[in-house]
Structures are given as structure tokens and as C-alpha cells.
Amino acid sequence: MYAGQSSHLPFKLNMSGVIPPIFASSLLLFPATLASFFGANAEGPVASAMQSIAAALGYGQPLHLVIYAVLIIFFCFFYTALVF
């Protein structure tokens, strides 16, 4: 018997690593990719809707930051549950 020895569980604090930001950024870039397929001069309700969504989800916009943070938190829990 060893006196004074401490024990610990070898769990990492962040088991998911950098996977959640990668998944979150790829999901947020999807509307911008679709809007680029329509082109800047495309007309019609679908093209204008996709372009306005892509503009609202642009990098640095408040909606982009909020959705990005929520997606990172979601993917942290999801990926940790999947791996653990």
C-alpha cells in the first residue's frame, strides 16, 4: 500500500478537440456557397432570398457569431457523446 498517493481519472477536458469549429464553419458557409451558385445578377424570389440569407450569415455579422457559438456548443456535446 502506498501512502499519500492520489488518484485521478484520465479524462480530457475537451474530448472533441477542434472538430466542432470545423463542422460549425462548414455549416455556416453552406448558404454562401449556394448563393454563389445563383450569381450576383440572378433574379427571382429564390435567388434574392438566398443572397439575403448569405449576407446575413456573412463573416462578422451578429447572426453569424451567435449561430457559430451555438453550433460549436452543440457539436462539442454531440461529438463527445459520440466518442465517449
Which pLDDT tens digit goes with each residue over 8-56? Answer: 777 667 777 889 999 999 998 888 787 777 666 667 777 778 778 888 8
| Strand extents, DSSP E, 1-84 | none
CA pair distance 67, 2, nearest whole angstrom: 51
CA dihedral 14, 17, 18, 23 (to 10 degrees): -90
Residues with Cβ within 8 Å of 55's Cβ and at least 6 positions away in sequence, in order, are 61
pLDDT of residue 71: 95
Grid cell for residue 32: 454562401
Angle, alpha carbons 22-34-63 (nearest 5°): 60
pLDDT of residue 48: 79
* pTM score of the predicted model: 0.71
Hey, where are the domains in the chain? 19-83
